[in-house]
Amino acid sequence: MELKLEKNKITGREKLLIIPLFKDSDFTLKMPAELHALLKKRQQLKDFTASQGQSLLLLPDSDKLPAKILLCGFGKKEQLNDTSARNSAALAVKAAKKLKLQQAEMILPENLAKHAQAFGEGLGMGNYNPAKYQTGKNKQNNEKTDIKKITIFYDGKDKKLAAALRDGLEIAAAVNEVRDLVNAPPALKTVNYMAEKAREVARQNGYKITVIDKKKLEQMGMGALMGVNRGSTAGAKLVMIEHSPWGSSKKPVVIAGKGIIFDSGGYNLKPSAAMSNMNLDMAGAASVIGLFMLLKKLKVKQHVAGIFALTENLIDANAQKPSDIVTTYSGKTVEISNTDAEGRLILCDTISYALKKWEPRYLIDIATLTGACMVALGERYAGLFSNDKELAAKLEKAGKESDELLWPLPLHPDYSAKMKSKIADLRNSDDSPYAGASKGAAFIQYFVGKTPWAHLDIAGPAHVKEPKKYENEMATGYGVRLFLQFLRNL
């Protein structure tokens, strides 16, 4: 979406003018007398209450006004915050998309200025089109709904407003790319494709990047990762990308993502209903890529390292079997009690390597790890597990500010004990259906040591059936905005 800003005077050059209205709306912008009169008349008729999400299309019979005027309700002005600004902007764009005009003008009310970044995020995320792989007339019709250019009129008093709006659109663009990555079919979104996407982001931003292939990973002793990879013809890779801005002397914040390209469950095969959307199982790795699309553009001053392992979890004659034992990169041995508990296996090797390489200030992993977490928290919250109260509080705060919510869940010693094996050091699951999310986190904790660490189980909010106002069904891009806010707050 191309953004243009104009001060004070509404031009009416485009066919569509979007006017956000609050229940107690005032207009401080200079506007044509006919437009002002038209709005006053609508207010007097009281058929448009300006409730959030309400819209009304006007077709004025005047050559001095745009051909179409779309009134969009933003709710009560006193309830305005970043979340409501983001939601309202997305709803306005979604209403405008139905008109298939592709270009629009929009008034920005004065009191939205301090929420301009969130407003920009809502515009960009609301404009997302998930129908990437449609063809013919369906594709043409979908493309006609995209808003390609929007001109925003504002009073010109706040010099930071333009930058904040553009930041919001940059953030939305990164989130939308992550959505595309997660939604992509596994036949296209291969291990090599994901690694090349990370290289592309590194080249564009001047980041240091390292990609380690299967042969080297075997030599390094990454037995847990290679065990998961045994059923796939695509060799696993480990990707590391680093943002180290000038003046950042502290040890890095390391963010580790789960990168399972497709998860069949292995020999502990998933039922068909649970397998159909398992192309989403690399959402954690995708969020790391999305974050790195923004760090340099938005001048984030923190030293940040991203790391993720990429593999499929499939079945063939060589595939890992229940009762196998693997030796992890840390040296600990793990009994494979369930081949469908594979995310924690690739994460334990990823985390062990990250600790040795960077000795991080904070270590955060993000993974679509357990259906149990989705059962517990649904689609609105990710599970938050941590060995450090300060880190957990900072993440929870960033989640509230970005509307990517986290809910603390327990790491009890009894759950850790359940991950002990009688034949090896650990096992990757137990037989009980209870506290599955906590046990998954407890397994990962064995590989963290004393490093301040948090585990985010995003199985619920990464891919949704009941989207937020700025989302669509399927992938959400969860994690990008959360991490960005977290890093800005440090």
For residue 2, give the amino acid letter: E
Distance from C-alpha of 397 to C-alpha of 489, rounded to nearest angstrom: 9
Residue 304, CA distances (Å) to 141, 201, 426 in order: 41, 14, 31
- Tokens 């001048």 identify what position? 299
Q: Write out the two tokens for 95.
A: 């209403």
Question: Which among 310, 325, 317 is positioned nearest to 267, based on CA atoms?
Answer: 317
Question: Is the distance from CB of 297 to CB of 480 less than 8 angstroms?
Answer: no
In 335-435, where does DSSP find H-type helix?
Answer: 343-358, 371-377, 389-402, 413-418
Question: Which among 124, 26, 39 is positioned nearest to 480, based on CA atoms?
Answer: 124
In 239-303, where does DSSP find H-type helix?
Answer: 272-275, 283-292
Half-sphere exposure (CA, 13 Å, Cβ side) for 233? 2
The DSSP line for 177-225 is HHHHHHHS-TTTS-HHHHHHHHHHHHHHHT-EEEEE-HHHHHHHT-HHH
Q: Which DSSP symbol is given to 133?
A: T
Distance from C-alpha of 485 to C-alpha of 462, rounded to nearest angstrom: 18
Question: Within 10 A of 299 (CB to CB), how many other CB atoms are there?
Answer: 9
Question: Is the distance from CB of 338 to CB of 323 less than 8 angstroms?
Answer: no
Distance from C-alpha of 178 to C-alpha of 183, rounded to nearest angstrom: 8
Distance from C-alpha of 39 to C-alpha of 27, rounded to nearest angstrom: 10
Question: Which among 156, 142, 110 is positioned nearest to 5, based on CA atoms?
Answer: 156
Q: Indicate which residues carry an active-site annotation.
A: 270, 344
Question: Within 10 A of 129 (CB to CB), how many other CB atoms are there?
Answer: 16
